[in-house]
Amino acid sequence: MSESPHGWSTEQVVGLLQKVELFEGLPREDLQQIAGIATGMTLEKGEVLFEEGKPGDAFYIVAKGAVEIVKPQPDGEGERLAIRRAGEAFGEMALLHDAPRSATARADETSQLVVFPREDFQALLGGESLPLRVMRVLSGTLRARGVRFASVEKVSDPGAHVRVDAYEVSRVMQTGLLPRAAPRIDGFDVAAGTTTGEDGRGSSVWDWVEIGGRTALITMDVPQDGFPPAYQVGIARAVLRSLAKTETSLPDLLARVNDALADAAVAGLDQYVDMGVLVAGAESVEWASAGRVPGGIIRRDGTFDELGAHGPPLGMLTGFKYGVQKLPMSSGDTAFVLSHASQGLFLGAADLMAQLHGKPAGEVVATLHRAIRKAQGDDRGETSVLYARKH
């Protein structure tokens, strides 16, 4: 086995990627990004590329030659499952997780491979648009192959020899959707964050976007189980960001996102998005929400105003008109939002934040996250927090 720079142009690699079902439908600019991480490898006839049970760390396309996929048998003989020839791909599941390989791959003849390392591919998921488009294609491909997603545990599909954890897929996409830093808003100290974990569902994210020249802080959460929750969150985020380029009214923006998600809903996939949108202005904040998204304003004098609910979760039914709430903000007042929480947990969070008045915004959010995780105990969920304190 020899490894070296592949020597092919980006366009040649893009041509190979266009033939792969996994990437069908992706725009050329995304394929060019993926081609940029490619390396090359040569296998001699009979040489083993990887063995069943070993961690998956790359995805491959055969450029020349042929590679056979073999299922080892107790008697030492291998059952040939498939053979991959020039232009065909294998090892795709390594792009999603590092689960053990479900079969052995070895060269049927001297072969040249295009290699896409898992770590480099996952780094691309931090891009603006690539996570949504790739995961959309991935989910469609996996469903088409009859892969059965598990809600909690990994399950095996003996026919496909594939093991997939739906939440593992969701966590990969969630990582790419989360912003790297909170935005700057004149007159406010701003912080935000989302708790994540190795056993999380990838169901909650925070985000920010410009709406009519104003900065909006956003929480999104999918409370229902089933198909990877971050898939639905990612679609909602993409639609919101696209419509926010021309829409300046919060109620109209939520209504349009809601209609788009409802119209595009997949039959039998009852997953809706709870969304809260907080826009901080010079003398007030505007608040609009879809679903039950707890939030409030802690006044400098210790009084508390709870933010109201303005309509059903996004994607539940078309034609709903959402409302908006405008509340005055004075120096020292703090607005905060949780993506979801019980009433008791929400009020406890409000009490804690009142005690942290004057602390740096990032420290407040980090302390609140720790308190929420402790209160949740063994039943830990993912929670997104928005925080904006008026100077």
Q: What does the DSSP assignment read for 66-131? A: EEEEEEE-TTSPEEEEEEEETT-EE-GGGGT--PBPSSEEEESSSEEEEEEEHHHHHHHTTSSSHH
Give me the residue spans of the domains in the chain. 2-117, 179-390
The structure tokens listed for 206 are 């925070």
Q: By the 8 A CB rule, do 178 and 205 touch?
A: yes
Q: What torsion do the CA atoms of 343, 346, 348, 349 make, to the nearest 10 degrees? A: 180
Q: By the 8 A CB rule, do 360 and 333 touch?
A: no
| Least trusted range by pLDDT, from 133-142, 199-208, 226-235, 319-328 | 133-142
Q: Is the pLDDT of residue 192 over 90?
A: yes
How many CB atoms neighbour CB 230 within 10 A? 31
How many CB atoms neighbour CB 66 within 10 A? 17
How far apart, in whole angstroms, are the C-alpha atoms of residue 206 and residue 220? 6
CA 208, 210, 216: angle at the middle one, nearest 5?
50
Q: What are phi and psi of 40, to 5 degrees?
A: -120, 160
Q: Is the pLDDT of residue 40 over 80?
A: yes
Q: Is the pLDDT of residue 45 over 90?
A: yes
Domains 2-117 and 179-390 share a fold: no
Segment 228-267, tens digit of pLDDT: 888 889 889 989 998 999 999 999 999 999 999 888 776 6
How far apart, in whole angstroms, are the C-alpha atoms of residue 104 and residue 54? 9
CA 119, 123, 126: angle at the middle one, nearest 5?
155
| pLDDT at residue 128 in the model | 44
Q: For the chain, give the percent of residues with pLDDT over 90.
A: 38
How far apart, in whole angstroms, are the C-alpha atoms of residue 101 and residue 145? 17
Burial 180-207 (b: 16+ CB within 10 A, else e): eebbebeebbbbbbbbbeeebbbbbbbb
Segment 171-189, tens digit of pLDDT: 888 888 899 889 999 999 9
| pLDDT at residue 277 in the model | 97
Mean pLDDT of all residues in 312-341:
92
| pLDDT at residue 50 in the model | 92
Regarding predicted confidence, which is higher, 297 or 124?
297
Class at the top of the CATH hierarchy for domain 2-117: mainly beta
How far apart, in whole angstroms, are the C-alpha atoms of residue 195 and residue 175? 11
Q: What torsion do the CA atoms of 254, 337, 313, 374 make, to the nearest 10 degrees? A: 160
In the predicted model, what is the mean pLDDT of the chain? Answer: 82
Segment 268-289, tens digit of pLDDT: 667 799 999 999 988 899 999 9
| pLDDT at residue 324 in the model | 94
Segment 4-17, tens digit of pLDDT: 445 678 888 898 88
The predicted model scores a pTM of 0.63
The residues, any chain, with a CB within 8 Å of residue 369's CB and separated by 6 or more, are 193, 195, 383, 385
Domain 179-390 has CATH 3.30.365.10: no
Regarding predicted confidence, which is higher, 27 or 51?
51
Band of the pLDDT at 142, cuts 50, 70, 90? very low
Nearest CA among 289, 360, 296, 359 for reference residue 327? 296
